[in-house]
């Protein structure tokens, strides 16, 4: 059992942390939700979606990669921060093909659920209409890069949990894209399997298991019944119980 060393304050609430925990780790352990898309309990944080930005005084930091330190006074659930998170979510929507009613992931999609959570009513920014390659080569797994938000979760899940290193992100800025580490660059020639964490962790509809379309009817899906706040806290407690 770890020893509690000290506390941080989030929105006026005192929260204990242990050495090595990030602000996100400490918050979720105390059942305080900090919005996030690229954080997943048990995987090394990457800090790339910036949804988890919080303020420590005048400094903005990503909670998932910033170590908790005694006495930090952190603002999280403020209208300014939630407005900034909404803008990030809107940008993610316009960068890709997120046409929710025609996506198999609708109702199970974390990006869509984040939009609901933050009260997003429109995309605000003009659409990018990017053309990104679909890889339907694998018999059981589909990769639609048009929906990829480059959260890096499949990359980390494949490397850290599946021990396969199937995915990587290549390029920078608007050129960034997901690549498959196989001789042809196609999923069919990789060793990914439908049971891998990497095949199931995608927060959006970019990686889908084939032959499972619409098995759960719309209206009975995860975010038809829960908020992303509830599932974010739940994911963390499941991981804690597994440890
Ligand atoms: Fe994230 Fe999905 Fe893109 Fe992988 S395919 S980087 S899990 S959005
Ligand atoms: Fe922290 Fe994505 S959850 S940057």
- Report pLDDT for 135: 98
For the residues 220-231, what does the mean pLDDT come to? 97
- Residue 178 main-chain phi, psi, to 5 deg: -85, 130
Burial state string for 138-158 with b = 16 or more CB within 10 A and e = fewer than 16: bebbbbbbbbbbbbbbbbbbb
The pLDDT tens digits for 84-96 are 999 999 999 999 9
Fold of 84-227: Alpha-Beta Plaits (3.30.70)
- Report pLDDT for 232: 96
Q: Which of 148, 156, 169 to mutate to test the pocket of ligand 1 (most atoms within 8 A of CB)?
A: 148
Domain coordinates of the chain in residue numbers? 5-77+233-242, 84-227
Measured in Å, residue 1 CA sits from the centre of ligand 2 at: 27
| Whether this model's pTM surpasses 0.85 | yes
- Report pLDDT for 236: 86
Fold of 5-77+233-242: Ubiquitin-like (UB roll) (3.10.20)
Measured in Å, residue 168 CA sits from the centre of ligand 1 at: 10
- Report pLDDT for 242: 73
Residue nearest to atom 3 of ligand 1 (CA): 148
Do the domains at 5-77+233-242 and 84-227 have one common CATH topology? no
Residue nearest to atom 8 of ligand 1 (CA): 148
Measured in Å, residue 142 CA sits from the centre of ligand 1 at: 12
The pLDDT tens digits for 2-14 are 555 699 999 999 9
Q: Is the Cβ–Cβ distance between 158 and 196 less than 8 Å?
A: yes
Q: How many Å apart are CA 32 and CA 21, to the nearest integer?
A: 14
Q: How many Å apart are CA 71 and CA 66, to the nearest integer?
A: 14
Measured in Å, residue 149 CA sits from the centre of ligand 1 at: 6
């Amino acid at each position: 059992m770890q020893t509690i060393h000290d506390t941080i304050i989030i929105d006026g609430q005192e929260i204990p942390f242990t050495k090595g925990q990030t602000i996100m780790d400490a918050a979720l352990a105390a059942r305080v939700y900090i919005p996030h898309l690229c954080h997943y309990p048990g995987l090394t944080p990457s800090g790339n979606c910036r949804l988890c930005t919080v303020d420590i005084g005048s400094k903005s930091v990503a909670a998932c990669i910033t170590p908790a330190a005694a006495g930090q006074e952190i603002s999280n659930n403020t209208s300014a921060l939630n407005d900034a998170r909404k803008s990030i979510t809107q940008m993610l929507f316009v960068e890709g093909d997120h046409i929710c009613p025609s996506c198999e992931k609708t109702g199970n999609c974390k990006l869509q659920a984040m939009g609901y959570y933050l009260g997003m009513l429109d995309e605000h920014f003009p659409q990018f209409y990017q053309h990104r390659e679909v890889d339907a080569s694998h018999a059981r797994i589909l990769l639609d890069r048009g929906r990829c938000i480059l959260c890096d979760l499949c990359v980390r899940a494949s490397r850290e949990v599946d021990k396969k290193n199937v995915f990587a992100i290549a390029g920078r800025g608007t050129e960034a894209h997901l690549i498959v580490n196989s001789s042809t660059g196609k999923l069919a020639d990789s060793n990914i399997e439908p049971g891998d964490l990497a095949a199931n962790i995608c927060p959006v509809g970019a990686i889908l298991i084939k032959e499972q379309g619409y098995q759960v009817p719309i209206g009975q899906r995860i975010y038809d019944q829960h908020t992303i706040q509830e599932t974010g806290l739940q994911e963390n407690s499941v991981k804690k119980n597994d440890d």
